[in-house]
Structure 1
Amino acid sequence: MSSALSANETSSIQLRTEWSESRSVWLRWPYREEIWPQRLGELAPVQQEFLRLLQVLAEARIPVNLQVAVGHVDNVRSVLAEQPFTELLTIQLHEVAYGDVWLRDCAPFIAEGVQTEKHASAWHFQFDGWGGIDDQFNHDIEARNWLSEKLGLLNAGAGVANDNMVLEGGALHHDGEGTAIACAGSILFRPGNDGLTAAEFRQKLHGCFAIEKVLMVPGRLAADETGGHVDNLAVFIAPGEVAIAYTDDASHPDYATCRRVFDFFADAIDAHGRAFVIHKLPLPRAPRLSAAEAVDIKQRHGVRRRIAGMPLMASYVNFLRINMGVEHLSAGSTGKLIVMPGFGLPSDEVARNLMAKWLPDYRVVTVPARGLLVGGGGWHCASFAY
């Protein structure tokens, strides 16, 4: 992308938040046999979950842009044609080469509003396949570049700015008012960011996004294969309000981490001097990859081995939030939807009810995500609203 800018050619942008208005949701269809358990002639469990998500989006009248891997479009179109909700679904299929479904982690960091030619429309950071656990990451970079062009970001404002720091979408969360949260594990301790200090990271975010305060949330959840993404541990639901993964069970492997995170936010203030309102979402024990699942994965060198008994990262914090702009609403839609991941546990409904209480303007639904966990993430990781 020769039209992209370097860091010293543009000034900072106001980064979009999770609740910024959007026109559609972007997703990627799962297909890789070395990540997802699949049997010949059957839909993979994760593909069935994606269909359930598409049904929820159709019922909410939220348009979908679905990236489909090269050579898979006809099959996906056939699968969609068989679904009873298809008549309600507004969807565009885009044949694009990509590594995996985790669109959020290698997507443009987009500005809230670009009004002058001095401001970039978005930032592109480096992506290294979560420290090298997936050798197809270059395809994710190509798909991100394609997306930025498709969204018109190259021709907006001063175009797209590039930076050599490794930064994934799930590694950073912010409140739209100058405060960001991140975990050190996936940023400071990433091989691609060798030698990066917390002070340099804060300075970088200030220069790119005018973020005044960066809170480095302590620890990481044990099953998180990214090195520690904040979208599994703690997220803003509004300025001054965070939802955190939490357990009271002292025997839980993440009990000490949850306590540290709660104490951290209890003692912290944001860029405007506000104390945080802390909401607790239950953190289930990590489910384990079954032997039946493992045997249906075609393991190969270059991709993290997914073996029977390995813990899977199940966090209700990893939810998808959609706020459709008024001009993009269709009849029968409020445009405000939260998709919680479901793990087949009693705590699924507890988490859904809590989120509905905290954000009453949103319709809150649970979509199964146990199959999605096999690949390492949740519905926030697998989506991108714009």
Structure 2
Amino acid sequence: MMNFPKNEGYFFPAEWHKHRATWLSWPHKEASWPGKLSSIYQPYCQFIKAISAGEMVCINILNEKLKQEAVYHLTEAGVNLQQIVFYDHPTDDAWCRDHGPAFLINPSSNIPKVIIDWGYNAWGNKYPPYALDDNIPTLVGKALNQPVFYPNIIMEGGSVDFNGAGSVLTTTSCLLNPNRNPHLKQHQIEAHLYNYYGVEQVLWLGDGIVGDDTDGHIDDITRFINETTVVTVIEENKNDENYAPLLDNLNLLKEMRLLNGKQLDIIELPMPAAVVHEGQRLPASYANFYISNAAVVVPTYRDKNDQKALDILTDCFPSRKVIGIDSTDIIWGLGSWHCLSQQEPEI
């Protein structure tokens, strides 16, 4: 039998599992935020300030010049630099959820933490170059002296969401897209999820939201908040193009059963009104929150539903502070706080 992480007792813990650190890749690509790159650093540093209150923040940085700029922005935001560690890991872009290391743990092993280095092709070769990003998990493995596994298929962290108890949520629109792994059928992709993430069950939703250039990442639509409960975004306006796909996903969630045969507990989150910039609808969603040790950081959009979403998520996370940070400029890059971050669990 091949030496898969699952066979060695490793699994990908839920995001609410205590973190040792959060990994980020410092933004520098003008083409990702055309005309807005300079405006994202203030909210980005607010995000770092919120999470660094409860854990280390490890930042992949392109070069020394960018590191000096980063220190300036972080200092301006009042971030405690004692909580920040820079790594000389050059990147093409900032989306660390998708190109960063996937950390698996087995607390009873003498090597309790390992890294999965999935292949990365910038969401179906949409935004070359991406070779630097594709190399990040291996560089992190070397920096931390942790073993690295190579599944040799394309997989992005934003396309999967875990309950830490054997179940993973994903979408057919992303994982079965021919621009990722055209040589693999659904059951073969499921086998990779079982073997390399240490899960027992794959729960499939359908399409993502309009404007999502990732072909439907789960972290924009449906998220586990505990082992048995998900929050899922719904669109109340029947004339909105998100109405039908989100309703379809809600109905699929109602039909799902967990490993113990129980139904999911489902909490509905609203969607903000369409966020449009230069004629392009952006993938604005409250589901793209990030669960850190100190806080749950939620993207907001200067929208009437911002407070409603924050109130719902505050009820979902009674032991954590829920913080809304304006994502109106960040979302021009077609992602928000969850897309930008990757957690490293504590053992």
TM-score (norm 1): 0.82
**Which one of the candidate residues 75, 100, 104 is aligned to 2:93?**
100
Match of 1:275 in 2: 263
Paired with 1:69 and 1:111, the residues of 2 have a C-alpha distance of: 26
- In structure 2, the residue matched to 1:37 is 34
Provide the residue aligned with 1:230 in structure 2: 218
2:27·2:93 contact (CA, 8 Å) conserved in 1?
Answer: yes
1:317 matched residue in structure 2: 287
| 8 Å Cα contact 1:28-1:67 kept in structure 2 | yes
Q: Deviations over 1:74-110 (max 9, x none)?
A: 2222333344x24576222233210111101012222
Structure 1 pair 234–94 and aligned structure 2 pair: CA distance change class (3 A): same
Match of 1:125 among 118, 130, 139: 118
Matched, 1:337 2:295: yes
> What secondary structure is seen at the aligned counterpart in 2 of 1:192?
coil
Give the partner amino acid of 1:143.
I
Distance in 1 (CA, whole Å) between partners of 2:81 and 2:132 is 32
Asked if the contact 2:119–2:152 (Cα under 8 Å) also holds between the matched residues in 1, the reply is yes
The 5-angstrom pairing of residues 70-81 of structure 1 reads 70=63, 71-81=65-75
Q: Provide the rounded CA distance (Å) in 1 between the counterparts of 2:315 and 2:256.
A: 24
- Tell me, in whole angstroms, the C-alpha distance in 2 between the residues paired with 1:362 and 1:20: 12
Partner of 1:15: 12
Aligned residue in 2 for 1:173? 161
- Deviations along 1:300-338, one digit per CA (max 9) or x if unpaired, are xxxxxxxx2111110111101013xxxxxxxxxxxx310
> Is residue 182–residue 230 contact of structure 1 (8 Å, CA) maintained in 2?
yes
2:322 to 355, 359, 364: 364
Q: 1:224, CA displacement in angstroms?
A: 0.8
> Aligned with 2:151: secondary structure?
strand
**Partner of residue 136 from structure 2, selected from 138, 143, 149:** 143
Flag the 1:201–1:309 CA change in 2: closer, same or farther, 3 A.
Answer: same
- 2:101 aligned with 1:113: no
Structure 1, gaps ≥5 residues long: 1-6, 155-159, 290-307, 324-335
Structure of larger gyration radius: 1
Contact (CA 8 Å) 1:11, 1:119: kept in 2 or not?
no
| 2:41 and 2:73 in contact (8 A); partners too | no
Distance 1:118 1:362, change over 3 A: closer
Q: Tell me what 2:199 maps to.
A: 211
Amino acid at match of 2:142: E
Q: Does residue 46 of structure 2 align to residue 46 of structure 1?
A: no
1:266 Cα offset (Å)? 1.0
Q: Which moved more, 1:130-139 or 1:204-213?
A: 204-213
- Cα contact 1:235–1:243 (8 A) shared by 2: yes
CA gap 1:146/1:11 in 2 versus in 1, 3 angstroms: closer
- Per the alignment, residue 330 of structure 1 pairs with none
How far 1:220 sits from its partner (Å)? 1.8
Q: Which amino acid aligns with 1:229?
A: H
Q: Structure 2: which 5+ runs fail to align?
A: none
Q: Partners of 2:133 and 2:234 in 1: how far apart?
A: 32
Q: Is the 8 A contact 1:73 1:95 kept in 2?
A: no
CA contact (8 A) 2:169 2:205 kept: yes
Identify if the C-alpha distance between structure 1 residues 78 and 219 changes in structure 2 by more than 3 Å, giving closer, same or farther: closer
Q: Report the Cα distance in structure 2 between the residues aligned to 1:215 and 1:68, rounded to whole angstroms.
A: 35
State the SS of the aligned residue for 2:180. Answer: helix
Q: CA deviation at 1:366?
A: 0.4
The letter of the residue matching 1:34 is A
May I ask how many residue pairs the two structures share in their alignment?
340
* Distance in 1 of aligned mates of 2:296 and 2:200: 28
Task: Give the Å deviation of 1:11.
Answer: 4.3
* TM score, norm. by length of structure 2: 0.91
Partner of 1:231, secondary structure, is helix
Secondary structure class of the residue paired with 1:51:
helix
**106-115 or 168-177: which moved more?**
106-115
- Partner SS for 2:20: coil
Once residues 272 and 184 of structure 1 are traced to their aligned partners in structure 2, the CA distance between those partners, rounded to angstroms, is 23
What residue in structure 1 maps to residue 58 of structure 2?
Answer: 65
- Which residue, out of 25, 28, 36, partners 2:25? 28
Percent of pairs with identical residues:
23
Give distance in 2, aligned partners of 1:240 and 1:99: 37
How many Å apart are 1:61 and its aligned residue?
4.5
Give the stretch that moved more between structures: 203-212 or 279-288.
203-212
Partner of 2:275: 287
